[in-house]
Amino acid sequence: MPATRKLPTELDAVIVGAGFSGLYQLYKLRNLGMHVKVVEAGSDIGGTWYWNRYPGARCDVESMHYSYSFDPELEQEWEWTEKYPSQPEILSYIHHVADRHDLRRDVVLDTKVTAAHYDEDSALWTVRTEAGEEVSARYCIMAVGCLSVPKKPEVPGLERFRGDWYHTCDWPESGVDFTGKRVAVIGTGSSGIQAVPIIAKQADALTVFQRTPNFSLPTFNGPIDQDMVADIKSRYREIREESRQSGFGVAIEPPTRSALEVDPDERHRNYEERWQRGNLTGVLQAYTDLLADEEANETAAEFVRGKIREIVDDPETAEKLCPKTYAFGTKRPCLDTGYYETFNSDHVELVDLRETPLVEITDSGVRTSDREYEVDSLVLATGFDAMTGALLNIDIRGRGGQPLREKWQDGPALYLGLNPAGFPNLFTITGPGSPSVLSNMIVSIEQHVEWITDLVEHMRHRELRTVEATETAEKEWTDHVREVGDMTLYPQTDSWYMGANVPGKPRLLMAYLGGVGPYWQKCQEVAANDYEGFALSA
C-alpha cells in the first residue's frame, strides 16, 4: 500500500522522519489507539538508508545486531546475507517491517516540515510544512536523525563546476557510472572511505582529497556465517538484553585491564586478534583506558598505523594516511573493504590538504594551493551538520515563542537527550545528550521510543496534558554529560562529535559517554520516581 500524501489537520501526535526511529514510534503509539502520522521529506521511507545510496554504503554494526527486537517472529524469519548489511539490504528490511505492520498508511511522504510552534493556551503543537499545510497535535516527536543534514565544502566555486557533482547523502536512485571518468572525492570520513574503493574500480583516474586522515579497520565482510546466525537466533533475547546493558549497545565481554599493565608483545597479540575480528569495538575496547589515557590510546593508535604502513606500498602515501594528531576512537573510526589497498593502484592519487589546502572548485576541477586537478565528476563526502543540524533546520518554538535555535545558541541542552525545558510534549529520539551516535543506533532508538511511549501512556492514564523537563534537571543532566565527556580524550579532538566540523557551531561533546546500560538505568529510575525531573501538568 503506498504511503498517503494527505496530512490531517488534527492528530494526537506528529512524528517527523520515517527512518528506524519514526516508524517504530508510529508502531508503538498506534498500538495505544492514538491518531498518529509520520511526516517525511523523502519520497520513500527509510531515513538514513533512503538518502545514503552512495557506492559502498554499509552499516558498521553487524547485521544480526542491527535490527529491531520488538518482533520476535521477525527476528527468527529475517535472513541477512552478509556479515555487514549494505544499504539496499537495510532498506529492504525497513520496507519489509513497514509492510508487515501496515505502517505505510500513516506515513505522509514528500512533505518537508519547516516549523513546529507550541501554543500555551491549547497546549498543542502546530506543525507546518513547506507546502503550507498545518496540523495540530498534542505531541511532537522529532525522529529526524543525527546525520541527515549534509555539509558542503567550505570553499567557493561549486556552482561554477561544469561536470557532474554528487553528495554522498543525496545520491541518485538510479546510481552513477564513473566508467572512463576522471573523478575527485573530497572527504575521507565514513562515506568517503566506503565509496573510494568502489569508485576506483570504475574510474580512469581517481583523486582523493584528504584534510584529516581517518582510522579505519577492515570488515572482512562476506556471506554471513550460518552457524553464528543459528547461535544468535537461539538466544536472541539474552543477547538483546546484554546489548542494552553494554557500553556501546553491542554485547561484548568488557575489558578488565589497562593497556599499560600488559607486556608489549601480549598487547600486540591482543590487538592483532581483535583486528582480525573485523569490527569497531574489537581494538577500541581491548583495554579499559584506551579512551581515557593518552599513553594507553597511543598503543592502539600505533598498532593501526602499523597496519596502514603494511598495507600501503608507497611509504610517503602511507604516512599521509596515518592519523597522528588525535586519539584513536575520538573521531568516528571507520570500517572499510579495501580502502587502504586502493592507494596501491596507479590510477589513484591522494592529495593531502594539510600540505596543500583546498582553495576553490573551478569550472573544470579542484584547485589547491599547489595546482589545479581537472576532473569530469566530483563526489562530496564532506559529512553532516551532526546531532543538531536537522533539529535546528526546523523553526521549533516553545513557551513564549522561544526558538530552539536561540535556546541552543551556546550548545544543545536537553534532559536525558529527550526533551528541552520550555518545550512541552516535544521529544527528540536519540537527541543530543543521549548515547546516540556513540552506540548501536537501533538499541538506542528502541530504548527511547519505548520510554517515550510509556510516558505518553502514563499521561493518558492520569489525564495529564503536558510534560516538560525542569530547568534544574536539564542543567544537571547537561553538566553531567559534559563532566563524563571531560573524563575522556574526546574533547581534545576536533570532530563532528564536538560540532567542530561546522564553522561557528558551539564546540562541545554532544553525545553521552556514560554508556548505554547506565543511561538506560537512569531513564528507568526517572520513570519509576514518577518521572523525576519532569513537570507533569493537568
| Percent helix / strand / coil, the chain, rounded to 5 | 35, 20, 45
Instruction: Give residue 393's pLDDT.
Output: 97
The CA–CA distances, whole Å, from 128 to 14, 395, 486 equal 11, 9, 39
Sequential DSSP letters for 86-119:
BHHHHHHHHHHHHHHTT-GGGEE-S--EEEEEEE
Which regions of the chain are under pLDDT 70? 1-5
- The amino acid at 409: Q
Q: How far is CA 255 from CA 247, 275, 465, 533, in A?
A: 11, 15, 46, 34
**pLDDT at site 3:** 53
Report the alpha-carbon distance of residue 481 to residue 434 in Å, rounded: 8
Q: Which residues contact 332 (CB under 8 A, 6 or more apart)?
A: 189, 190, 437, 495, 496, 497
Q: H-helix or E-strand containing 534? A: strand 534-537
**What is the β-pairing status of strands 113-119 and 124-129?**
antiparallel
Contact 58, 34 (CB under 8 A): no
Strands 205-210 and 348-352: parallel
pLDDT of res. 281: 87
> Roughly how many angstroms between the first and final C-alpha of the chain, as a whole number?
39
427 φ, ψ (degrees, to nearest 5): -125, 145
Give the SS3 label for residue 150. strand
- pLDDT of the residue at 441: 97
Query: Which residues, in sequence order, are CB contacts of 180 under 8 Å at separation 6+?
Result: 203, 204
The number of residues in the chain equals 538
* Cα angle value 177/179/185 (rounded, 5°): 75
Residue owning grid cell 556479515: 83
Of 170, 481, 202, which is closest to residue 342 (Cα–Cα)?
A: 202
Q: How far apart are CA 283 and CA 304, in angstroms?
A: 9
Is residue 421 a contact partner of residue 470, using CB atoms and an 8 Å limit?
yes
Contact by Cβ (8 Å): 504, 439: no
Specify whether the CB–CB gap between 341 and 350 falls below 8 A.
no
Q: Chain centroid to CA 418: how far?
A: 16
